[in-house]
Structure 1
């Protein structure tokens, strides 16, 4: 993994074997990012994606193991209890052009990933909302 800051933007390049969530989290901590947006593309060969079930307030997770293009990686950076908090979603496409998407829990890079963190000034924290069952942004 390598990263470089350009003003309020950080460009991250991930290498084969790098894990997406952990790598972005490490860069955000190193660069003291408290608030921002995330976008990216790349290729992975393993991913864990989830869907939040509003009726049970639980995530249903699926592990996918084959070659995928990250056709869209999008999300945000905030904080929760003073710690960096990532909320990322991804759409992954396979060789047959089938798309899979959801909340991104884990993903292992197979070739590369190119990710941009757009840093915003300020800080927004999160708190657990029992009615919804999620960690929501609080202002």
Structure 2
């Protein structure tokens, strides 16, 4: 993982995070967010995975259904945010659209992905930290406001 600060102004940073072959994306991005004290940010990325897992939230069961893809996929789009969880730790919430060799696509809540050959991530900090809280009615952690 290579991190480059592109611009900083007023305490806000624009940062490029480039993941390398065989890096696990969610693990690397969470490590980055905690190491660089990111408490609120927007994330976008493109690149590719050798394998990945996406999930779909089922409101009836209030659980995620996971779908694992064990083949090369282009990251057509990845967007999301970095927030502080209920324990004050940085956490990544990402969604991804993956494109496959046959031109089919799949999308959902990003669980993990093994990078091949690269994942190029742009992180833009927000002026306030965002906090996630568990909503018992939804059965999910959702953004609950700034600090």
The answer to whether the superposition gives a TM-score over 0.5 is yes
SS at match of 2:121: strand
RMSD of the alignment, in Å? 0.8
User: For structure 2, which runs of at least 5 residues remain unmatched after alignment?
Assistant: none
**1:10 shift after superposition:** 0.8
Q: Which residue of 2 aligns with 1:14?
A: 19
Q: Which residue of 2 aligns with 1:5?
A: 5
Q: Which residue of 2 aligns with 1:39?
A: 44
Residues of 1 paired with 2:106 and 2:50: CA distance?
13
SS at match of 1:34: coil
Q: Which residue of 1 aligns with 2:99?
A: 93
Paired residues, number: 139
Q: Does 1:127 align with 2:133?
A: yes
Q: Cα deviation per residue 1:35-89 (whole Å; 9 max; x = unaligned)?
A: 0010000010110100000111000001101010000010001101201111100
**1:14 shift after superposition:** 0.8
Residues of 2 paired with 1:99 and 1:124: CA distance?
31
Residues of 2 paired with 1:124 and 1:2: CA distance?
25
**1:112 shift after superposition:** 0.6
Residues of 1 paired with 2:36 and 2:127: CA distance?
13
User: For structure 1, which runs of at least 5 residues remain unmatched after alignment?
Assistant: none
Per the normalisation by structure 1, the TM-score is 0.97
**1:124 shift after superposition:** 1.7
- Which 4+ runs in 1 deviate beyond 3 A? none
